[in-house]
Amino acid sequence: MHYEAGRVYHIYNQGNNKQQIFFNDDNYYYFLRKMKKHLLPIADILCYCLMPNHFHWLIYTRPEACELSNMVKPHQLYNTYKDDPLSKGHSQKLSKAIAIILRSYTRGINTHFNRSGSLFRKTTKCKDGLTKGVITVDGKNASHFFKPDFDYAQNCFLYIHNNPIKASLVSKPEDWNFCSASEYKGYSMRNICNKKLATKLLGEHITKFATTNLASQKLCKKTLT
């Protein structure tokens, strides 16, 4: 995936062969700490949900998220930028951050539970909820910030928060402690999400979400297949 600045991305992955990836509360908190450490310096998290065998993020990319990681050596920069930035296998900072989170989390789980092998699917999936081209929030084309139907990212926000309900884990999304619904409801002071930016991008009527939204579930029902 080639990321561009100023866009919203729905990023998700699940356990290899749909296996469980979080085994106790400490595992969830461990993963959340890694999100804060590696994602927040380069991107804004609009919402998230960690489920027993998968996770979802809705992320807004700042310019630094799209820069090449510091793995690129100075003498490689000319040829790298001359062609496709990723053509020679050099990762953008966001891709690198995601890889670090999943790799280090897997290593920690394997050590703790005396297991080996992969934990997540090989490919972390990503969907772009925005129009083609660079459109800024405050620019002249702000009204076209999302695709013509204007609802993918909005519905995705609701869908992500409704995951615990769909899985019958809780009756209200804010009751699932590992979902950003608790931040938006003021139950958690984790401060992972940029709630102000999410409200600006998606609308206050979305960030003050309802507990159920069948349209959003229908829209995203195939995201993990």
Q: What average pLDDT is seen over the chain?
A: 80
Q: What is the dihedral of CA 6, 96, 189, 195, to 10 degrees?
A: 10
Closest to 198 measured CA to CA, from 154, 134, 148: 154
User: Residue 64: helix, strand or coil by DSSP?
Assistant: helix
Please, what are the domains in the chain? Answer: 8-220 (3.30.70.1290)
Q: What is the pTM of this model?
A: 0.79
- pLDDT over threshold 50, residue 131: no
Q: Which residues of 73-92 are buried (b: 16+ CB within 10 A; e: fewer)?
A: eeeeeeebeeeebeeeebbb
Residue pLDDT, tens place only, 42-100: 999 999 999 999 999 999 999 999 999 865 444 333 333 333 344 345 689 999 999 99
15-19, 20-24, 70-74: range with lowest mean pLDDT: 70-74
Question: How many angstroms separate the CA atoms of 159 and 57, rounded?
Answer: 11
Q: What is the pLDDT of residue 163?
A: 93
